[in-house]
Amino acid sequence: MKLIFENWRQYLNEAMDPRIQKQIDMLLALPDVAIKVSHPPLGGHKGFVATYVRTNPDGGQPQILKRRDSTTRKDDEIVKTGYPNGSDEMWKPGNKKRIGPCLDTWVVSLSFAMGGWGPLLYEVALEWASQNGGGLTSDRDLVSGEAEAVWDKYAARSDLGAKQMDIAHWGEPSPENDFRDHDEYAQLTPNTPEDDCDQSIAIDKADDNWHESALSKTYYKGTPDVITALKEAGRWVEG
């Protein structure tokens, strides 16, 4: 176990969020937990899913960790077991009429985790999206207050880059753009269509100052240090 932690530490970025470091340590302290990634199509688009799983020492298929694995009941109280439970999903926009090119970014579509294990899954998604596209951005329709705080932290992190996306103009209302009539908001780069993106959520949060919202940008990370460390420790499962 000591050797595993020493190997993990060599991949650390000095600016890494300390919560990520803590969760990596916690995961490695568990003998049979890994992160499984898969690439199912999501809504007809390219997809990516990262999920906490329990590995099988006999070489069988890893089992998805569920809520009952993360908590137990003792003396009529719910007690944490120390095991994670959670999943992150993201997809790549393919229909420019509804979303926009969005700088080739990946869009978070679902994220949940028990016991505060969410940041590590987000970090895995961010690194993978940075290596396989233009980065990662929030859901374009709905973002909870808790999720918005994640993006605000991304905007403040010194080890991440941020690219401003423009607002997409949809033209006349149609079945393709439903309620997204954003032509009243001026574009930042009208001659650069590749950065156009649905900014519904940023407008909901900041209206005319939509471009100042952390939700209007896509974020990227230069080195996949967390993914590399998980692979080196044998805690990364593809399938």
Torsion angle, alpha carbons of 63, 65, 66, 67, to 10: 160
For helices 2-9 and 225-232, give the axis angle rounded to 10 degrees: 160
Domain of 97 in residue numbering reads as 2-238
pLDDT at site 98: 72
- Of how many residues is the chain composed? 239
Q: What is the mean pLDDT of each run of 10 residues along the chain (239 residues)?
A: 49 65 91 96 90 88 92 77 94 76 94 90 97 96 89 93 92 55 87 93 93 97 92 92
pLDDT given for residue 5 in this prediction: 46
Task: Assign 62 to helix, strand or coil.
Answer: coil
Task: Say what the pLDDT of residue 40 is.
Answer: 93
pLDDT at 145: 87
The whole-angstrom separation of Cα 135 and Cα 176 is 25
Question: What per-residue confidence (pLDDT) applies to 218?
Answer: 98
> Can you tell me which residue has the tokens 């908001």?
185
pLDDT, residue 211, reads 96
Neighbours of 8 (CB within 10 A): 22
Per the listing, tokens 């940008």 go with 217
Position 96 scores a pLDDT of 55
- Residue 179 has what pLDDT? 47
Domain count within the chain:
1
What is the reported pLDDT for 114?
86
pLDDT of residue 56: 85
C-alpha span between 163 and 170 (Å, rounded): 22
Angle at 16 between CA 23 and CA 210, to 5 degrees: 105
Nearest to 52 by CA among 81, 74, 72, 14: 81
pLDDT at 9: 54
Cα distances (Å, whole numbers) of residue 202 to 99, 151, 189, 211: 14, 12, 17, 7
Give the CA distances from residue 57 to residues 24, 32, 33, 229, 232, in Å, rounded to whole numbers and listed in that order: 20, 8, 11, 20, 17
Query: What's the predicted TM-score (pTM) here?
Result: 0.88
